[in-house]
Amino acid sequence: MIKVLVSDALGDAGIQIFEETEGIDVDVNTGLSPRELIGTIGDYDALVIRSATRVTEEVLDAGKKLKVVGRAGIGLDNVDIAAATKRGVVVMNTPTGNVVTTAEHAIAMMMALTRNIPQGTLSLKAGRWDKKKLQGREVYNKILGVIGFGKIGSIVADRAKGLRMQVVIYDPFVAPEQIEKAGFESVTLDELYRRADYISVHVPKLKETTGLLNKAAFDKMKDGVMIMNCARGGIVDEDDLHEAMKSGRVAGAALDVFEAEPPGECRLFELDRIICTPHLGASTREAQTNVAVAVARQIISYLTSGTVINAVNVPSVAGDLLKKIGPYMEVGDRMGCLQAQLADGPVKALTIEYTGDFKGMDMAPVSTAILKGLLTPMVKYAVNFVNAPLVAKEMGIKVTESTTSEAEDYTHLITLKVGTDAGENVVAGTIIGRSDIKVVKINNFRLELVPEGHILLIFNHDRPGAIGGIGTTLGRHNINIGRMHVGQEKDGDHNIIFLQTDTPVPSDVIEELRSAQMVNSVTPLEL
Ligand X SMILES: O=C(O)CCC(=O)C(=O)O
Active site residues: 232, 261, 279
Tell me if 521 sits within 8 A of 511, measured CB to CB: no
Our CB check for ligand NAI shows the closer of 153 and 327 to be: 153
Our CB check for ligand X shows the closer of 290 and 495 to be: 290
What three-state secondary structure class fits 245? helix
CB of 293 to ligand NAI, least distance (A): 16
User: Does the protein bind ligand X through residue 209 (CB under 6 A)?
Assistant: no
Contact letters for ligand NAI, residues 254-293 (x by CB under 6 A): --xx---------------------x-xx-----------
Binds ligand X by CB under 6 A, chosen from 58, 62, 75, 158: 75
| Ramachandran angles phi, psi of 299, nearest 5° | -65, -45
Q: Which residues pair with 488 in a beta bridge?
A: 446, 495
Q: Which residues contact 460 (CB under 8 A, 6 or more apart)?
A: 466, 467, 470, 494, 495, 497, 518, 519, 520
Partner whose footprint covers residue 333, from ligand NAI, ligand X, none (CB < 5 to 8 Å by kind): none
Number of residues that bind ligand NAI (CB under 6 A): 32
What three-state secondary structure class fits 75? coil
Question: What is the rounded distance in angstroms from the CA atom of residue 414 to the CA atom of residue 441?
Answer: 10
User: Does the protein bind ligand NAI through residue 211 (CB under 6 A)?
Assistant: no
User: Does the protein bind ligand X through residue 283 (CB under 6 A)?
Assistant: yes
CB of 276 to ligand NAI, least distance (A): 12
Question: What is the rounded distance in angstroms from the CA atom of residue 148 to the CA atom of residue 231?
Answer: 10
Tell me if 14 sits within 8 A of 59, measured CB to CB: no
CB of 174 to ligand NAI, least distance (A): 5
Partner whose footprint covers residue 50, from ligand X, ligand NAI, none (CB < 5 to 8 Å by kind): ligand X
Our CB check for ligand X shows the closer of 238 and 333 to be: 238
Number of residues that bind ligand X (CB under 6 A): 10
Binds ligand X by CB under 6 A, chosen from 282, 295, 314, 414: 282
Contact letters for ligand NAI, residues 144-183 (x by CB under 6 A): ---xxxxxxx----------------xxxxx---------
CB of 8 to ligand NAI, least distance (A): 13
Residues making up the chain, counted from first to last: 527
Q: Which residues contact 95 (CB under 8 A, 6 or more apart)?
A: 74, 151, 310
Which region, judged by CB under 6 A, interacts with ligand NAI, from 97-105, 345-353, 430-438, 491-499? 97-105
Amino acid at 302: Y
Q: Across the beta sheet with 274-276, what order do the strands follow?
A: 185-186, 166-170, 143-147, 198-201, 225-229, 250-255, 274-276
Contact letters for ligand NAI, residues 108-147 (x by CB under 6 A): ---------------------------------------x
Stated as kind and residue range, the H or E segment containing 417 is strand 412-420
Tell me if 447 sits within 8 A of 338, measured CB to CB: no
